Chain A
Amino acid sequence: MSNSDPTSFLNRCRRSRSFLIGGVMTGFLLLCAAISLFWTPGSAYDIVIPDRFLPPSAEHWLGTDQFGRDIVSMLMTGTQNSIAVAVVAVSIGLIIGVSLGLLAAAKRGWTEEFIMRISDFSFAFPAILSAIMITAILGPGGVNSILAIGLYNIPVFARLTRGSANAIWAREFVLAARAAGKGKFRITFEHILPNVLSIIIVQATILFAIAILAEAALSYLGLGTQPPHPSWGRMLNEAQSLIFLDPWQAVFPGLAIATAVFGLNLLGDGLRDVLDPRLSRKR
């Protein structure tokens, strides 16, 4: 696959438009988050009442909110928050879900049945709804929203991994590995995981977008990130009541969420093209 032939890998990257655009958009967000760690144009936290509801200007690029906080700075700091929540939530889902999926595919029988029935059950609830349910049970807050989103991701990864892994288990090179005396555990790590990794990476990118959206939704409902930490979802919520007074405030967080979700989805699509081990399927 890709790792074997760096030039064709780079070529495929260059040729995939979704990969390029999605990559640039995602990279821009990461950059914002990174810069905001040590510098923002204004303050995302300081309340300066005289400066409230300022329109975009040279000093406040995107204006200020009802407390006089700088909106660009809040958005940039909010990027940190969204990314952190998504990274942790997707990692939880990834590590546990992929392990369960690999286990189900290696063990088959009732282990597989058990894991899959549980994930079927959790699929009956839409992503955001189940996140709301879980935060409603655990209580609102940043950590709980991470848990809620992460929990939702587990069956998604488990299901995908198990499906792809089953297909790899049926391949002849796995039989060859058995004939070489390799146990199921070794085969899982040496043959199955590398062959399903690209599919998992693509899925992770998409779930990253869903996690950002879910975090925004939870914060919007007041179940996610709590004040004073800036969060896109809560900015939207606060802007909602002021939509006629100061429409700017609603537009920018909305745009930020849209950029993140759209960029990550594009990136996921692009990665599918780039990572797709077409070479291995070439006949």
Chain B
Amino acid sequence: MTDYSVEEPVLIVEDLVRHYRLPKESLFAEHRYVYALNGVSFEIKKGKSFGVVGESGCGKSTLARNVMALEDTDGGSVRILGEEVVGLSFEQLRPLRQHFQMVFQDPYGSLDPHLNVDRIVAEPLAALGPLTSAERDERVREVLESVGLKSGDISKYPHEFSGGQRQRIAIARALITHPELIVADEPVSALDVSVQAQVLNLLKDLQESFGVTYMFISHDLAVVEYLCDEVAVMYLGEIVEKGRTEDLFANPAHPYTRILLDAVPQPGAAKKRDRIKLAGNVTGQTEIRAGCAFQDRCPMVKNVCRSEKPPLVAVEEEHLAACHFSADVRAKNKPAAG
């Protein structure tokens, strides 16, 4: 894993496809599929944070699992530190896993209640090959310290901790192999608002001290704006807009992004932490249709949107959007921005 240059992105995802086969409804029925990922492409440069936002069911966790090589991908490519991971067997992947780790959404479900902190945190060391027990203990101690847990916590069990502390344990587990890439799937959405900020700050501090790269999944745009250098907006298994955080937030080019941003509570107004609400259906799609993925719910849908799929094209430097009318969207942004 030494042959990658600093210029090479830590993660390159190309045209990633994942279709879940649903159980047959009857013996002679055709299998139906959930089209969870339909050709997702992006890359993350070293030491950067890449945010993925979108509503529930748009495929964020599926993307995370496929990047982490936790399930069989149906197509496309995932390269981590220049190494292709799609198509590798579980055994072939094992030595690579130390380079990419994951933090899960639910700090109650992601820690085995029967294991103590020591065993939970040390778990990924299995991929690292033989370590002496002194080395192992040192690693555990070091990583617990860096996430702000006390050394006395080491023999405690998950139920003895609060949600925020549990998420710290999960972060320590992800950090212990000194990975290049950490995929964090909504790591704060299960936490109290007051605790969210602490954990986000911790993630930011860890990035500074370890130079780790984040793929950060969230449905909370404020969180993404705070933490991420770049953002991708997902809708029904596709990236509909992608760009530098400040560009995308200041001047969105896709109507869906626009709606998401408008739903973010303004500073000063009463805080509202609900998920974004939109008209129309949000279920995962079980058919591939012609035209734009967002056509059913788009306020500015035209005929062309129903027949032709808009490609993901640049609207400015490093800012891409998949909308036939991105120019119109951006024109409407102007008065609000200025």
Contacts and interface: CB of A to CB of B under 8 A. Distances in A.
A, B from the same assembly: yes
Nearest to A179: B102
Contacts of B123: 176-177, 180, 182
Contact of B104 (A1, A172, A277): A172
A175 B70 contact: yes
Contacts of A108: none
B334 interface: no
A195 interface: yes
Chain A: interface residue count, which band? 20 to 34
B110 A172 contact: yes
B65 A1 contact: no
A187 B215 CA distance: 26
B280 interface: no
Interface string A179-193: 111110010001100
B93 A181 contact: yes
B157 interface: yes
Interface in B102-123: 102, 104-106, 108-116, 123
A186 B108 CA distance: 22
A181 B127 contact: yes
Interface string B159-173: 110000000001001
B9 to A, nearest CB: 21
Contact of A279 (B93, B112, B113, B127): B113
A171 B170 CA distance: 14
A179 B114 contact: no
A181 B97 contact: yes
Contacts of B91: 183
A172 B106 contact: yes
Contact of B157 (A4, A173, A178): A4
Interface string A256-279: 000000000000000000000101
B113 A277 contact: yes
Contact of B101 (A177, A179, A191): A179
Contacts of A283: 108
Contacts of B101: 179
A4 B160 contact: yes
B124 interface: yes
Contact of B126 (A171, A181, A195): A181
Dominant SS among interface residues on chain A:
helix
B159 A280 contact: yes
Contacts of A1: 113-114, 157
B68 interface: yes
A3 interface: yes
Given A4-B157, A176-B123, A183 B90 contact: yes
A194 B173 CA distance: 20
Interface centre among A3, A171, A173, A183 (most CB of B within 10 A): A173
Give chain B's interface residue range (CB within 8 Å of chain A): 20 to 34
A173 B112 contact: yes
A176 B127 contact: no
A180 B96 CA distance: 10
Contacts of B31: none
Contacts of A277: 113
A280 B127 CA distance: 27
Nearest to B159: A279
Given A176-B173, A282-B159, A191 B112 contact: yes
B275 interface: no
Given A176-B173, A180-B127, A4 B116 contact: yes
A4 B65 CA distance: 31
B289 interface: no
B108 A195 contact: no
B152 to A, nearest CB: 15
A38 B80 CA distance: 70
A179 B113 contact: no
B97 A179 contact: yes
A78 to B, nearest CB: 39
Interface in B132-191: 156-160, 170, 173
A179 B181 CA distance: 13
B21 interface: no
A3 B114 contact: yes
A175 B109 CA distance: 10
Given A4-B116, A4-B159, A4-B160, A171 B109 contact: yes
Contact of B102 (A3, A5, A176, A190): A176
A81 B337 CA distance: 86
6 contacts: A4-B157, A172-B104, A173-B109, A176-B123, A176-B173, A180-B173
> What 5 A-B pairs are tightest by C-beta distance, nearest first?
A280-B113, A181-B127, A4-B157, A180-B124, A181-B94
Interface of A: 1, 3-5, 171-173, 175-183, 186, 190-191, 194-195, 277, 279-280, 282-283
